Amino acid sequence: MSTENTAIDSITDFPASTERFLTFMSDGLTIGVSTNYVTEIITNHAITMIPLVPDYVKGIINLRGQIIPIIDIRLRMGKASIDYTNTTCIIVLNINDTNLGIIVDSVQQVIDIDKAQISPVPTESHQELINGMISLNEHSVLLFLDQEQLTEPVF
């Protein structure tokens, strides 16, 4: 284990209290989602728009015969929309046997986190999609996505 950052374990040292997270960027924030929920990462996939849905629902995709709803995580978190770039991708998640794709600015890396080091999010932050945070170094904070909340409607 690194002496600089006790929260990140090496891949070979994987105690029971450690969980693996895929990190991604959205609106300048580094966010992690448990790899237990990640099924794949895709790019350049045509999204079919559907009517009468919240603005954060961008549409659906047909992924090998399976219809998957796609949401823009920026919009779902109440942030401004941006044009998609060549680093924009879709992370496909399986949440309680429901597949869902989230559009993110870019995917970063997979890291191992000691769950005991995760701090709760301040209650005044009003971020219902974020359920924890950890300082990676003195200039970087990793927020943890509450993937269960992604399937909850926002009206």
Condensed to tens digits (0 to 9), the pLDDT of residues 69-102 reads: 999 999 998 889 999 999 999 999 999 899 999 9
Give the Å distances, CA to CA, from 146 to 11, 20, 37, 128: 24, 15, 11, 8
| Per-residue DSSP letter, 110 | E
Tens-digit pLDDT profile for residues 96-155: 899 999 999 999 999 999 988 888 887 665 577 888 999 888 788 899 998 888 877 654
pTM of the model: 0.83
Domain 8-148: top CATH class: mainly beta
Cβ distance 154 to 53 under 8 Å? no
d(CA 136, CA 113): 10
pLDDT at position 124: 60
d(CA 3, CA 62): 46
Higher pLDDT, 41 or 151: 41
